[in-house]
Amino acid sequence: MEYAEPYGSGADLLKGSMVLSPLAPFGKYVNVCRGLGINGFNNHEAVAGVLTGVKDGAGADSIDHIIAQALGVEAHNLGANPYPRNQDGTGFDKNSYLIKHGGVWVRPTEDPAAAAASMLGAIGGGQQGGGSEPASDEAAFRNEALGLTERQLERMQGALSGLTKEQKKLAVHLESVRSIKAAADRPVMNGCTSKPALPALDALAGKDVFAQKNLRSVIDAHLEVAANAMVCGTARVVTMQNLWVNCDLPMDFEGGPGSGNPYHGATSHSREAPGRMEFASIQSWFFARLAEKLLTILDQPDPLDPGNTVLHNSLIYVCSEIGDGADHNSDVHDVYLGNQIVHSYLPAILIGNAGGRIASRGVVDVDTDHVNMLATLGDAMGVPVSQLGAQSARPIQELKS
């Protein structure tokens, strides 16, 4: 935390921050939110509550799903997770899942090529360019096919009565089909008439997305795909998860931050200045990737609203379940490092103005529970959120325009 500050203000916002200086060119869009904490659960188990708002995600879906359902669009979930394939078949344990859709924890899409197919695949086809609608016979065929799929999935749900795990998997597929049907008659608003150039994705071709040496390439490609989908308007809700709980990779891969120490244990846990500075430099590297491969692309006139940039019309939330690695806390409290006291809270940064719904105020002392940040995200997207599981929530007024 001490290497994130000083934040500065005005034209100098973030320029003096070791961690956040890559965001300085986009300072007019940034809110650094101080004082956000999670109450009632702590440490890495908090990852399940970062976007659901409640411990273990009990009775709640993640905010991306809530927003996407209200908007009638798909919530895309990307992941740069070069885990060993021998870890339970997925690389995640129960404390690593971030996204929950329809009551089921969702594994992120690790391959940027698959993400591109999902988010940019329609460009150049029948449903693109200026919101043109598909031909009526295509629409009828699509709706009939989706109806057939829905009925098949409903019958399979009945046949799997009592097999809870399999029923949950089918529930996610069934909900996805129903969402597609609900949105099927909406015109596709698309600012691109041809697929955008994706050099980072092209450079990844033929490489193993699970190989640790390719982590930078995977991160860059995911961010590039997401940015272009946001520019084109073909993806409206996207999350991206970097690494996973207890990830202990050395960060000395090609094009990385150059740290040969294990990321989780030796670096993030450090209470000594050299280790904490090394961890801060790694976080700065992640922000540099975000700035170069996402924010730079978004800081251009919006094809669907040329008077504003795509970044002005978007809202990006950068967050973590851990406030300070030394204590591995998720609440707001003071961390004692010898003679130094560091005031710790959850990292929470908003970038973009959500089309004018979020004001850019630089550094904002919010001093509140993190569920209220989730309600703020919903409110910014025109989706009121007053309850997450059993937890009440309200938008943070200091962030609103």
pLDDT tens digits for range 286-344: 999 999 999 999 999 999 999 999 999 999 999 999 999 899 899 999 999 989 999 99
Environment class of residue 363 by beta-carbon count within 10 Å: exposed (0-12), middle (13-18) or buried (19+)?
A: middle
Average pLDDT over residues 65-93: 80
Band (pLDDT 50/70/90 cuts) for residue 247 is confident
Residue bearing the bigger pLDDT, 159 or 277: 277
Structure confidence at residue 285 (pLDDT): 97
Residue bearing the bigger pLDDT, 167 or 75: 75
Q: Are strands 104-106 and 99-101 parallel, antiparallel or unpaired?
A: antiparallel
Token reading at 57: 């995600």
Q: Is the pLDDT of residue 61 over 80?
A: yes
Rounded CA gap, 12 and 3, in Å?
16
| Mean pLDDT lowest among 33-37, 41-45, 60-64, 142-146 | 142-146
- As a whole-number percent, the residues of the chain with pLDDT over 70 amount to 81
| Mean pLDDT lowest among 159-163, 217-221, 340-344 | 159-163
Phi, psi of 95 (to 5 degrees): -95, 10
Rounded CA gap, 43 and 56, in Å?
12
Rounded CA gap, 148 and 150, in Å?
5
Structure confidence at residue 91 (pLDDT): 55
User: Which of 4-8, 187-191, 358-362 is predicted most confidently?
Assistant: 358-362
Average pLDDT over residues 44-73: 95
Which amino acid type is present at position 336?
Y
329 strand-pairing partners: 324
Q: Is the pLDDT of residue 179 over 60?
A: no
User: Which of 41-45, 242-246, 291-295, 332-336 is predicted most confidently?
Assistant: 291-295
Give per-residue pLDDT as tens, 84-108: 655 554 456 667 899 999 999 998 9
Rounded CA gap, 316 and 351, in Å?
5
Average pLDDT over residues 71-83: 92
Rounded CA gap, 61 and 56, in Å?
11
Phi, psi of 65 (to 5 degrees): -70, -40
> Are 44 and 95 in contact, with CB atoms under 8 Å apart?
yes
Rounded CA gap, 315 and 334, in Å?
30
Structure confidence at residue 148 (pLDDT): 52
Burial 64-87 (b: 16+ CB within 10 A, else e): bbbbbbebebbbbbbbbbbbeeee
- As a whole-number percent, the residues of the chain with pLDDT over 90 amount to 68
Q: Is the pLDDT of residue 134 over 90?
A: no
Q: Angle CA(379)–CA(385)–CA(386) in degrees, nearest 5? A: 130
Cα-based distances in Å from 4 to 13, 179, 190:
12, 41, 38
Residue bearing the bigger pLDDT, 309 or 132: 309
Residue bearing the bigger pLDDT, 349 or 89: 349
Rounded CA gap, 28 and 44, in Å?
32
Q: Is the pLDDT of residue 140 over 60?
A: no
